[in-house]
Homo-oligomer: A and B are copies of this chain.
Amino acid sequence: MAAPDTRIRIVDQGLDLISRSGLAGVTLGGLAAEVGMSKSGLFAHFKSKDAVQIALLDRMAEVANRVVVAPAMAAPAGLARLRALVGNWIGWSDRAGLSGGCPVAAALFELDDLDGAVRAKVELMEGNWRGLLRGLVGEAVGRGEFRADVDADQFVFELCGVYLTHHASHRFLRDPQADGRARIAFEALIVRAQPTPQEWATAPDQTPGETP
């Protein structure tokens, strides 16, 4: 096997560092120490702290795409795909082999009161992610798996809450029940979005009580 390219090695070790220490832990000096090279050696690859943090976030997106998104796309469209995606998403950083938590989740709290290129990058990533979730909710509506009046933005707002509270319970409180609690919360969110038996029964094209 060929020796890995230095830039790739820096980015992979940096992604692990960011997952443990957050963006604040990724300075040029801190990352140089982590990868065992001089700060000037690192500077040959990245010209600024912002540039290196953005490269690490891009690498995170690649990893998350491979671990979370791509496998879920094999599931049938609509609710099945949403379930697959959420199942892959919750706790994904463990399964991706990172030694810390989700860098974007941490950045939502770390960068909220700051401005600049790294915040803009996280905002773009978070917007894309929520757009993907919203699209799957829309698919489930289109297929009649969710009610037509489901507010996809509200659904995604609450689903992100399930993700964040799982992250806090699993990683900070180290609660062994976090996975199970997240599943219960997600299923309750789905049940709220599904057509109710009463709605089926009173739909104009259905005989009351008829199984759809």
Contact = CB atoms under 8 A, between A and B. Distances in A.
A113 B21 contact: yes
A62 interface: no
Interface in A86-101: 99-101
A162 B158 CA distance: 7
Interface in A34-52: none
Nearest to A103: B109
A92 to B, nearest CB: 15
Interface in A104-140: 105-106, 108-114, 122-123, 126
A160 B154 contact: no
A183 to B, nearest CB: 11
Interface in A135-170: 153-154, 157-158, 160-162, 164-169
A83 interface: no
Interface residues of A, number: 44
Nearest to A160: B165
A122 B173 CA distance: 10
Contacts of A20: 113-114
A112 B172 contact: yes
Interface in A7-26: 19-22, 24-25
A22 B21 contact: no
| Chain B CB within 10 Å, residue with most, of A22, A100, A122 | A22
Interface stretch (A66-74, A184-192, A204-212): A184-192
A109 B122 CA distance: 15
Which 9 pairs from chain A and chain B are nearest by CB? A161-B165, A161-B161, A24-B24, A164-B164, A112-B171, A100-B113, A106-B109, A20-B113, A112-B172
